[in-house]
Structures are given as C-alpha cells and as structure tokens.
Structure 1
Amino acid sequence: MLDTALSANDFLFLAKGAGMTIFVTILSVFFGTILGIIFGVIRYQLGPYWSAPLMIVLDVFRSIPLLIQLVLTYAFLGTVLRLGLSGLTVACIVLTMYTSAYCAEIVRGGIEAVPMTLRRASRSLGMTWAQDMRNIVLPLATRVALPSWIGLALGVMKDSALVYVVQVTELLKSTQILITRLQEPLLLLMICGAFYFLISFPVARFGGYLEKRWSND
C-alpha cells in the first residue's frame, strides 16, 4: 500500500495548476496563431528584403531563451514603464509573441508549398488576391503546416512551465510547492508528468487524426 501524505486537497491544488497551464497555453496559442498567420502572410508577400524589419523582430523572439524574455519583459513593464501588469498578463503576452514568431515561419513555409501553377490558375479564373488566399492557398497550406503547428502548440504547453518566474502558479510550480512541503519528489513528479500527458495526448492524437484524414482526401 502506498504510504503518502498527499491529500485530496493537494490533488485539487495540482489540478488548479494544470488548469492554469491549459489556460495560458490556449490563450497564447490562439492569439499567437492569429498573429503568426498575419506575420507569415506579410513575410511571404513582401519577400525577404521588404519584410526584413519584421523578420528581425521575430528572430529576437525565436533566438532569446523564453526564460530571459519572461524576466526582462516583467521587469521592463513593471519597473521601467510602471504598468503594474500581473504576472499572468505578462506571461500571456510573452508566450503569444513567442508563439507568433514560430508560427509565422510555419505559415510562410506552408504558403510556399502551394504550387505556383495552381495560384496562377486561380488568378486566371478572375479570383482576387483575397479570394485566392482564402479559397486556395490557406486550405492547402493548412494541411502542410498542421503537423508543425501541433508540435508548436505542445511545445508552448511545456514551455509554459517557465512562467513561474513571473509569479504564475502553473502545474510545475504547484508541484514544486508540494515537493517542498511534503518531501515526496518522485511521487509528485510522476503525478505532474501524468497531468502533462493527459493534457497533451488528446491534442497529439487529434492532430494525427486530421493529418491522416486529409492525406486520404
């Protein structure tokens, strides 16, 4: 029989941490994807030369470790600008921009994968640029980009463990608090890993289902 001091309230505490992880991930991936689509289309349309300023900004978010981004942004917004934003708000802002930086390259690559002959054919039929993008390019690019986007979303979910540095009590931080109090690191880390698995497994399976279904169409 397992001898542990872990109580039902402790499980509830971990579940609340998991809920915070899910909340931060959904919010960041949602808005990051929207910005990523916009940035990706701009990068593709303007080309490497005219989109260079945007590319530099996105490279900053891709190149600097997320932990440093969180600490610097929290300090800058709070100490320099004195905006008084909560740690949760700062975490969502940083993770959104972090997601958009990677998503932009996924979108750009997906658009470039659409055959140019197909795009010329759509324009020869009288489609406008917007109609071509909406009806031809984005649906095909989505099929190409989906596996990478799923990987990005799962990566952001795991990277959200770093938001503890801006005083957000997510799943890993909740686990660390209980480890300090109960002194049962192995059991608690196993439970933490199980929570992460339960969060990520349905997303990965659903992405695999969509990819398989679209490949058979």
Structure 2
Amino acid sequence: MNNTPTLFNCTAFLGMRVVASGSLEHVVTSVMDALDNRDLTQLFIFDDSTGKLIDVDFRGSTDDVLKRLGEQPGDLSVTEVNHQPTRRVGRPKLGVVSGEVTLLPRHWEWLKNQPGGASVTLRKLIDEARHAGEKKSTIRESQEATYNFMTAMAGNFHHYEEALRAMYAGDLDRFHHFIDDWVPDIRDHVKKLAANAFNEGNQ
C-alpha cells in the first residue's frame, strides 16, 4: 500500500483567507507548522480539481496525519505502475488498424470528393469530434468544481445564484461582474477554478 498522499493540488482556507496551497502533503505540513490546534479544527481544505472538501484528521504529529491520508481508500492515495513496452524484433507497427465502416451512398460520394480521400477525411472528422468532446468535458469539470466550492464557501454571498446562472450560461463578463466584490481570496479562488468553465469565444 502507498502511504504517501497523491500530489493533486489543494487549497486550505481559515475562515475566508487562504493559508496554504499546493500538494496535499505540502498543505498539511504547512498548516501544522503555522497553526495551533484551535485553528486546525476550523480549517477547510479543498481539492482544486473537484472543488470538494478533503477530510483531514489533524490528530497527532505531521507524520501521523500524512500516514492516515495515505491509508485512505479512493482518490487520496494512488499507486503508480510503470509499464514498460515489450520490444519485439521485426517490422514496427505503424499504428493503423483496419476495420469496416458502413455508410450510405451519399456519404461515400461526399467522402470521395474530399481532399486526401475517404480515410484521411474520416480520421480528421474523428479527431475533431474527439477534441470537441474533450473540450466539453473540461468545461463541465471546471463548472462542477466551481459550483462545489462556491456552494461550500460563498453560498450566502451577494449574487451567488446570479453568478452560478451566468457561469452555466457561458457569460464570463456577467460572472465576473457578480463576484468582483466578494472577499478577495474567495473571489480569486473561484476565478481559478472557473478558468476552463467557459467556451474560448467567451473568454
């Protein structure tokens, strides 16, 4: 079992103020060196990738805390496996895989008239679709992380609901307008989490 916390970035808040940011190990070590036990009980640590709170038991020494984090199942610990490719003698594979594609006559006619032929065109279309899908996934993940953090730390702030609606509507200017007068550390962290929450044309 790997007893070292994974190196995802996180941010620690004491009240409305950021007190540490970086890897979980760095944040835990920093706050235990700088804060007393009373402050530690009021500390909130958020996973920057999801905007969700991380449950940290601060009892004991720094080594004790880190060890417990490394023993937690799920997202807080990972075991990396280095897979080395098997080398084979002979002609190298070019990465091209043949397969069957079923299209209507009008589709084949259109493909034949494209520069480079059917295979090149199909590969381009697939790559474009994959890129579009990845972009949508990135936007969705950023929106979800922003929502999670805002709900936990800014749910009672002025224009909280309006800011969320602006984000989901893809309106970056209105989103910034609604959060600009928030507590600086909260506002700046929201902007950080929402960096990928908007289409490129709206940034």
- TM tier, smaller: under 0.3
Between Structure 1 and Structure 2, the one with more strand by share is: 2
Q: 1 or 2, which has the higher helix percentage?
A: 1
**TM-score between the two structures when normalised by the length of structure 2:** 0.28
Higher relative contact order (CA 8 A, sep 6+): 1
Highest CA radius of gyration, 1 or 2?
A: 2
